[in-house]
Chain A
Amino acid sequence: MRTPKARPTLRSVIGRGHLILALVAVTLASVSLTLLGVLALRVYAEHNLHLIARSINYTVEAAVVFNDSAAATEALSLIASTEEVAQAEVFDASGKLLAQWVRPETGMLSQVELALAHALLEQPISQPILHQGQTVGSIHVVGHGGSLLRFLLSGLAGIVICTALSAWVALYLARRLLQGITKPLQSLAAVAHAARSERDFDRRVPPAQIAELDSLGSDFNALLGEMEAWQSHLQSENETLAHQASHDSLTGLPNRAYFEGRLIRALRSAAKVNERVAVLFLDSDRFKDINDNFGHAAGDAVLVAVAERVRAQLREDDLVARLGGDEFAVLLAPLHKAEDAQRIADKIIASMDTPIRVPGNTEVLTSLSIGIAIYPDHGATPGTLLNAADAAMYQAKRLSQGGQQTADSEPTAANVIHRS
């Protein structure tokens, strides 16, 4: 299931990119600033140390001239204790130590400060003590890096705080950016999925804030529109083809195949609920004459008129189909009584009394012969029922044109064979 190398999500890629950018920027800026700061501070610290040495110099000058150790020590400690000095010494002209001051140790930090000062500053600083242009002694001053350490510590704290802050901002921005990207992508995916799995071409991708995603969405919408049009075109084409396959193009009635299909289904359901079904076989009596005398156009008009009139006599659920030529078939399902079928057949025959207008500004009169077969009395299968109705129709035609005849109650198979 799992791929050997998991693909990173958009969220992690964007988040990591932002984070790395922020961290690199903060690190570069803070490191360079700290370096520059340390360099600048180093210059100032050295300058400061020189100034301290000079002021000690001036203060202890007289004491050195008079070789007064106590006064020199007092003056030395007075200045050195308030300044950033770790150790200060005064020597007389012969190099003898006259006065000394050492900053008292104050915990671990002073060790760090001393080490820092030794690492960064050029010390100890040595200055000659001049009196009337002559060197009367010298002083040595060692600074301590208190302010350097404070600067470095605050710089470090600043780096940590800035890093945390920028990481937070980077992640926040990444999340916001992600929302702008993933939302349109998610809706795009949802629409695509609906279109693929449910053939739902109605849905559209909402507009997005980011231009590229918006154009992607609108292109996708246009594609969906085309697919929708194509789909509906195919559907209507299919429906037309299906209708053409099962219907007669002249009269618009279902054809023989459709009729037989319906008949099979009607018989099956009738067998279940013990109902009756009637099949009427209709044949035009004078169709051939009309065709010969008035032409094929008149014949066609007669067929269309017959189809309309027969259709008009039937219930909504009943079916009339053109089996071919001038033969029609009617399916009455469900049927309550055999008399109902005969009554409908009478109504159909009666509907042919009105003349039919045919091209050529003439009217013709036609009549129908109808054979009736009833399930289950005259047959149990579509074939036997149709044959029984066909046979009954021929019998009706023999007896009197424009009449009807119900099939015999005898076994129909013998009848059919006999009649045909």
Chain B
Amino acid sequence: MNVAVSPTERSLSWRRMLLVALLCVLAPRAFAQASGPADQRAQAVTQVVLGILSYARWPVEPAQLRLCIVGPTQYTDDLVKGTTQATGRPVVVQRLLADHPDIVSACDAVYIGKLSADERSRLFTSLIGHPVLSISEGGDQCTVGSLFCLRVGDEQVSFEVNLDSVARSGVRIHPSVLQLSRRRAPAS
């Protein structure tokens, strides 16, 4: 991915790098059709997910952050490309099946798409007692198991926090993120 970065680009902002990379990759398409609402949402989701990851602390900090995408998702086109955090830690994104046996050891964070209730409960059961940060794309079932639930809107991508799950998971989340989500929860 870094190859795509223009040598003249001096800012190390992950957002800007992302934008440049996106532009380079999507350049042919971007000329044909200006980035549609779907693209904007995908970018916003990427920003929020990376933001949540940047405010999370694991009991043992992994050298590279492994983000697993589980199940069919709507807004991960941008996310799957992977990136590097501002601290210089690379974020490795991979797709896994919901019943993958090694999810706990292979992932530091899980991005959960549409799953059946059964798959869902099995996934969360396997995650219990492990420091894995889970983010659900759909906000419907946020009360069950997932630490964060995204609410993707046209204007903005917001999120909710399940404080019980956060407390159980062992992953520490910066209070300002919790504050941000709690304030937002009733509004959304």
Contact = CB atoms under 8 A, between A and B. Distances in A.
B179 A74 contact: no
Contacts of B86: 131-134
B177 A62 contact: yes
Nearest to B159: A66
A93 B54 contact: no
A68 B156 contact: yes
Nearest to A69: B156
Interface string B4-32: 00000001111110000000000000000
A132 B85 contact: yes
A370 to B, nearest CB: 152
Contacts of A133: 86-87
Nearest to B15: A93
13 contacts: A62-B51, A62-B55, A63-B180, A66-B180, A67-B47, A68-B158, A68-B180, A93-B11, A93-B15, A132-B86, A134-B14, A135-B13, A136-B15
Interface string A28-69: 000000000000000000000000000000010111011111
Interface in B142-188: 156, 158-159, 174, 176-177, 179-180, 183-184
Interface residues of A, number: 19
A59 B179 CA distance: 10
A62 B87 contact: no
Contacts, number: 52
Nearest to A134: B86
B78 to A, nearest CB: 14
B133 interface: no
B54 A71 contact: no
A134 B44 contact: no
Contacts of A74: 183
A11 to B, nearest CB: 76
B96 interface: no
B48 interface: yes
Nearest to A62: B176
Contacts of B14: 134
Contacts of B156: 67-69
A93 to B, nearest CB: 5
Contacts of A134: 12-14, 86
Contacts of B48: 66
The 8 closest A-B pairs by CB, nearest first: A62-B176, A134-B86, A132-B86, A65-B51, A66-B51, A62-B180, A132-B87, A93-B13
Contacts of B184: 68, 71
B161 to A, nearest CB: 12
A62, A69, A131 pick with most chain B CB within 10 angstroms: A62
A69 B180 CA distance: 11
Contacts of B180: 62-63, 66, 68, 71
B35 to A, nearest CB: 15
Contacts of B177: 62, 66
Interface in A89-129: 93-94
A71 B13 contact: no
A62 B182 CA distance: 13
Nearest to B187: A70
Contacts of A59: 176
